[in-house]
Amino acid sequence: MKKPFLIVAALVSFTTFAFAGGDQNKNRHDGEKGQGPTQQERIANPNKDTIQVRQLDEYQKEIIYSIYEEEKVARDVYKTLGGKYPDENTFANIQLSEQTHMDAVRNLCVKYGIDIPPVDQGVGEFNLGEMKTLYDSFVIEGVDSKLAALKVGKKIEEMDIADLGIALENMPRDVQKVFTNLISGSINHLDAFTNAIERETPE
């Protein structure tokens, strides 16, 4: 008669343990106690970014911000040269794409707490002195002729592709995804400028 009693007791004990374990999992957080999402939240929202943002070191933050301003260099140069050569649609089309690139990197800056101007600065205005120098030199180089301006565009896209490739190193996955998309966009821009140069070059 004792055997059925022992089986029932074991089942009660197992059920109690299972409920306790489930409750612990439900309330277990990532990181420090009470911080981050619970395991249940992560299961319930598998596609939602509920996990705490990985902290970046200062060097990584500087790299991301420099990419933001480099994309602004491209946009501003294309605005300026496009104004000088309004019949060349390549500048007008690509400057819109460069604004999209800037917005994507701005979102990263906001996400990771990187200092960034609250509003878009004017054309040719930069926080980083080297970016101001780049902008000025590209504009000076491109004002001589439409062909020279198109070659400046090609040079800028080649620079962007190289710098973005370097910036990918040791970055979080979301940053790498954004930078990889920017590289793909810059490759398309490079092709557009190359085709325009071929059209403009006398045979």
Question: Which one is predicted more confidently, 13 or 172?
Answer: 172
The confidence score (pLDDT) of residue 53 equals 52
What φ, ψ does residue 133 adopt, rounded to 5°? -65, -45
How far apart CA 108 and CA 101 sit, in angstroms, is 11
Domain residue spans in the chain?
2-44, 58-200
What is the per-residue pLDDT across 119-169, written as a single tens digit (0 to 9) for each? 888 999 999 999 999 999 999 999 999 999 999 999 999 999 999 999 999
How would you class 4 by CB atoms within 10 Å of its CB: exposed for 0-12, middle for 13-18, buried for 19 or more?
exposed
What DSSP state is assigned to residue 38? B
From the candidate CATH numbers 2.60.200.30, 3.40.50.300, 3.40.50.2300, 1.20.1260.10, the one assigned to the domain spanning 58-200:
1.20.1260.10
pLDDT-derived band at 118 (thresholds 50, 70, 90) equals confident
How far apart CA 134 and CA 124 sit, in angstroms, is 10
What is the per-residue pLDDT across 35-85, written as a single tens digit (0 to 9) for each? 444 445 544 554 444 344 568 999 999 999 999 999 999 999 999 999 999
